[in-house]
A and B are shown apart, each in its own frame.
Chain A
């Protein structure tokens, strides 16, 4: 059964909201130059997905989607640990987080 509180908002609205958040995340990744902000945008994308999964899961009364969200959160935490470590390592060497400075590798 779908709880009545949830039913007040149609499923489409959740899809629109999640897609909007996801697109904001993509734009952030593509346009920002600070490594941490890019990273935050990626997290925004992941959380948009979480929202979407929870909405689908609730409307279908199917717990699988919510279990998936736990997996995403756990993996995202691991990714944050690795990502921040890489960013710290880089900052120690370059003293900057500007990805525009990352141009040692090109043909």
Chain B
């Protein structure tokens, strides 16, 4: 709870730091702010409390997901390189404070106990993301991505709100506890108001929009491709983690009693997400766009754990989000520096070809990229393997055999497109010169790689908490 308050204050503080002549202080200051927030979150471990007139619940679920989000944000800030120190048209102070504000929203989405809090959290996060997507004001691609994201996001918010209103009409409460009580008693007496079903449907559609699950994914590739890469890394990790924490909480706490109603629908959506995400990703020529479809496919795996709704689902989602965030940040980090090596048709080169021969010029970057791709593909000895393993075992526990078969098949398709990058780096001849990378940037990338390998070797480091 303290982390939410402190982060919003730090965001304002960061804006004032922007008045200083030197912009160099912003990056370390933001890192310090995030570390303080992480410490404040960590000291709430094993506490059970409700804050803000019962609108926010602090428990271990909140603390652990907050920690993932804050660590991811630290890593993303670590590869942000101050957004170009000397460039006139960037505004680092604003970007860093918007990042801090958006994390506030993400934390509210994780800890919500009242649908008002969920709505406000979703909006704080999304509005911040619309701005960050459009930060490259002179680039048409960034403009277009921002407009598409904004219109689709606002549309999704409208649908989400309609769902909330209908649920309120049926249950008379915005509180998760009140809704859960209504759902359980009404299901017992077989007197569930149709308004509840309509509301549930719309609420889930709104949330699935935000986490980019299949029939509602069409904005994702465009937005991820058009946004500046650093913000793509930010939104593909943080929005997804927070979105799934919120979706899991809704599904298990509030609507656990109506499992029979939403399980089938969500299972179909999970299958669609897996199929569309993985198969379309295999056809992409642009690495960045492939990563967008791969993020859709990862949403499919995470949905599997939500559908299973067994006690292990929570730790499975937690571990998977952590592994996915680490690997995605390092993949986009390498992409940022490699795409600037040689522009392609006037914009940064984000094709697979940009990675040709990277292993010869920059063995370190190639290694970081390889580990991240292996982790995303779910190869053993990386964190991604255990992420998939826990998700699949949750699915087995939930008796989702058919879904499991599709998921395993689709992760085989995943290996194909993730390995294309590795092949380009190690087997193709080199096209560009060596990429010069600053030491802080290198350190962050190494940290993500080490963590990915560490959690791959010792998954109990995370799982022993539960």
B148 touches A102 (CB 8 A): yes
A76-90 vs B, Cβ < 8 Å mask (1 yes, 0 no): 001100110011011
Interface residues of A in 72-107 (CB under 8 A from B): 72, 75, 78-79, 82-83, 86-87, 89-90, 93-94, 99, 102, 104-107
Would you give the shortest CB distance from A50 to chain B, in whole angstroms? 8
- Asked if B94 is at the interface (CB within 8 A of a chain A CB), the reply is no
Interface residues of A in 43-92 (CB under 8 A from B): 45-46, 48-49, 52-53, 56-57, 60, 62, 64-65, 67-68, 71-72, 75, 78-79, 82-83, 86-87, 89-90
State whether A35 and B141 are in contact (beta carbons under 8 Å apart), knowing that A53-B168, A75-B123 are contacts in the complex.
no
| Contact with A75, one of B119, B145, B165, B226 (Cβ below 8 angstroms) | B119
A78 touches B168 (CB 8 A): no
- Asked if B362 is at the interface (CB within 8 A of a chain A CB), the reply is no
State whether A56 and B130 are in contact (beta carbons under 8 Å apart), knowing that A79-B123, A82-B150, A86-B146 are contacts in the complex.
no
| Contact with B221, one of A15, A87, A107 (Cβ below 8 angstroms) | A107
B113-150 vs A, Cβ < 8 Å mask (1 yes, 0 no): 00110011001000100110010011011011111101
B155 touches A42 (CB 8 A): yes
Main secondary structure of the interface of A (DSSP, over half): helix
State whether A35 and B146 are in contact (beta carbons under 8 Å apart), knowing that A75-B119, A82-B127 are contacts in the complex.
no
List chain A residues, Cβ under 8 A from B166. 52
B403-433 vs A, Cβ < 8 Å mask (1 yes, 0 no): 0000000000000000000000000000000
Number of residues in A with C-beta < 8 Å to the partner?
43
List chain B residues, Cβ under 8 A from A18. 165
B151 touches A39 (CB 8 A): yes
Cα–Cα distance between A93 and B137 once the two chains are bound (Å): 9
State whether A39 and B154 are in contact (beta carbons under 8 Å apart), knowing that A90-B147, A102-B147, A107-B285 are contacts in the complex.
yes
B140 touches A94 (CB 8 A): yes
- Asked if B174 is at the interface (CB within 8 A of a chain A CB), the reply is yes
- Asked if B172 is at the interface (CB within 8 A of a chain A CB), the reply is yes
- Residue pairs across A and B with CB atoms within 8 Å: the count is 124
State whether A15 and B140 are in contact (beta carbons under 8 Å apart), knowing that A45-B158, A75-B123 are contacts in the complex.
no
List chain B residues, Cβ under 8 A from A94. 140, 143
A15 touches B161 (CB 8 A): no
A42 touches B151 (CB 8 A): yes
Cα–Cα distance between A58 and B284 once the two chains are bound (Å): 53
Main secondary structure of the interface of B (DSSP, over half): helix
B147 touches A42 (CB 8 A): no
- Asked if B59 is at the interface (CB within 8 A of a chain A CB), the reply is no
- Asked if B173 is at the interface (CB within 8 A of a chain A CB), the reply is yes
B148 touches A49 (CB 8 A): no
A52 touches B146 (CB 8 A): no
Would you give the shortest CB distance from B202 to chain A, in whole angstroms? 9
B165 touches A105 (CB 8 A): no
| Contact with A49, one of B137, B158, B172 (Cβ below 8 angstroms) | B158
State whether A42 and B168 are in contact (beta carbons under 8 Å apart), knowing that A89-B137, A89-B146, A102-B144 are contacts in the complex.
no
| Contact with B168, one of A38, A45, A56, A82 (Cβ below 8 angstroms) | A56
- Asked if B225 is at the interface (CB within 8 A of a chain A CB), the reply is yes
B226 touches A86 (CB 8 A): no
- Asked if B311 is at the interface (CB within 8 A of a chain A CB), the reply is no
B144 touches A104 (CB 8 A): yes
- Asked if B162 is at the interface (CB within 8 A of a chain A CB), the reply is yes
State whether A106 and B168 are in contact (beta carbons under 8 Å apart), knowing that A68-B174, A75-B123, A79-B154 are contacts in the complex.
no
Would you give the shortest CB distance from B131 to chain A, in whole angstroms? 6
State whether A105 and B120 are in contact (beta carbons under 8 Å apart), knowing that A22-B162, A86-B147, A89-B146 are contacts in the complex.
no
State whether A52 and B169 are in contact (beta carbons under 8 Å apart), knowing that A42-B158, A71-B119, A71-B120 are contacts in the complex.
yes
B140 touches A93 (CB 8 A): yes
Cα–Cα distance between A49 and B167 once the two chains are bound (Å): 12
List chain A residues, Cβ under 8 A from B138. 93
A86 touches B158 (CB 8 A): no
A42 touches B154 (CB 8 A): yes
List chain B residues, Cβ under 8 A from A104. 140-141, 144, 226
Would you give the shortest CB distance from B9 to chain A, in whole angstroms? 19
Would you give the shortest CB distance from B140 to chain A, in whole angstroms? 5
List chain B residues, Cβ under 8 A from A72. 119, 161
List chain A residues, Cβ under 8 A from B174. 64, 68
New A-B pairs, 17, CB < 8 Å, besides A68-B119, A83-B154, A93-B140 = A35-B151, A46-B158, A46-B161, A52-B162, A52-B169, A53-B168, A78-B123, A79-B157, A82-B131, A86-B150, A90-B146, A102-B144, A102-B148, A104-B141, A105-B145, A107-B283, A107-B284
Binding site for A on B (CB under 8 A): 115-116, 119-120, 123, 127, 130-131, 134, 137-138, 140-141, 143-148, 150-151, 154-155, 157-159, 161-162, 164-166, 168-169, 172-174, 195, 221-222, 225-226, 283-286, 289
List the 4 shortest-distance A-B pairs measured between CB atoms, nearest first: A45-B158, A105-B222, A56-B169, A52-B165
30 A-B contacts (beta carbon < 8 Å): A18-B165, A39-B154, A42-B154, A45-B159, A45-B162, A46-B161, A49-B158, A49-B165, A52-B162, A53-B168, A64-B168, A64-B173, A65-B165, A65-B168, A67-B116, A68-B115, A75-B120, A79-B127, A79-B154, A83-B150, A83-B151, A83-B154, A89-B134, A90-B143, A93-B143, A102-B144, A105-B141, A105-B145, A105-B148, A107-B289
